[in-house]
Every structure is written in structure tokens, then in C-alpha cells.
């Protein structure tokens, strides 16, 4: 849904950079949580070679760093929101 919302912004010529940064934080973190939970469910088997979860965990962790650390994206989001706030445009947190 976040990606669709971002695509709609792009089609309507609205700056999507803040939304793109939010996607780059949320999606890899969600994937990481899901894989971590699966490893917890499977216990020791989750980190053995019997299941693909360990490789998925490595991929999930790498994915969180692939396009820059989360903190860089958080800073970008904050800067964009504050820039709009200071210019008087405000920020619609509902969309």
C-alpha cells in the first residue's frame, strides 16, 4: 500500500521523496522482523542448514543497509517535513 501511494504521488507530480524514504525504512525492517520471528518459532533448526531461514536472515539484514542506514532515511524524512512546516505548507500526516 505504501508503494501504491508513492506511485500515485509520482503520477500526480507530487514530490515522493519522503514516502520513498519511509518505504526504505519500513519494508526491510518488516521483512527482518518476519524472518526473525520464523527463526524464533523454529528454534535451533532455524539457524541450521536444514532450513533456508539463516540465509534469509542474512539477506534481510543486508537489505536494511543496501540503500543506506535507516538513520539516513529518518533524517531525510525529518528534514523534508520540517522544510514544509517552516515554509507554511504543513504536512498531512493522514496521507
CATH of the domain at 58: 1.20.140.10
Q: What angle do CA 21, 26, 31 make, to 5 degrees?
A: 135
Residue 5 lies in a domain: no
CA–CA distance, 86 with 15 (Å, rounded to integer): 17
pLDDT in tens, 13-38: 988 999 999 999 999 999 999 999 99
Total domain count, the chain: 1
Residue-averaged pLDDT of the chain: 89
Give the predicted TM-score (pTM) of the model: 0.77
Task: Report the half-sphere exposure of 30 (CA within 13 A, side-chain side).
Answer: 7
* 93: pLDDT strictly greater than 70: no
Domain hosting 77: range is 21-86
**How many other CB atoms are found less than 10 A from the CB of residue 27?**
14
Residue 10 lies in a domain: no
Cell matching residue 20:
520513498
Query: Nearest-CA neighbor of 56 among 22, 78, 28, 77?
Result: 28
Amino acid at each position: 500500500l505504501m508503494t501504491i501511494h508513492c506511485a500515485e504521488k509520482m503520477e500526480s507530480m507530487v514530490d515522493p521523496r519522503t514516502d520513498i524514504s519511509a518505504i526504505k525504512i519500513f519494508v526491510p525492517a518488516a521483512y527482518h522482523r518476519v524472518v526473525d520471528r520464523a527463526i524464533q518459532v523454529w528454534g535451533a533448526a532455524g539457524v541450521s542448514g536444514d532450513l533456508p531461514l539463516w540465509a534469509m536472515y542474512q539477506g534481510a539484514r543486508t537489505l536494511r543497509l543496501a540503500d543506506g542506514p535507516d538513520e539516513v532515511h529518518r533524517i531525510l524524512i525529518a528534514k523534508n517535513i520540517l522544510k514544509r512546516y517552516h515554509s507554511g505548507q504543513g504536512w498531512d500526516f493522514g496521507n
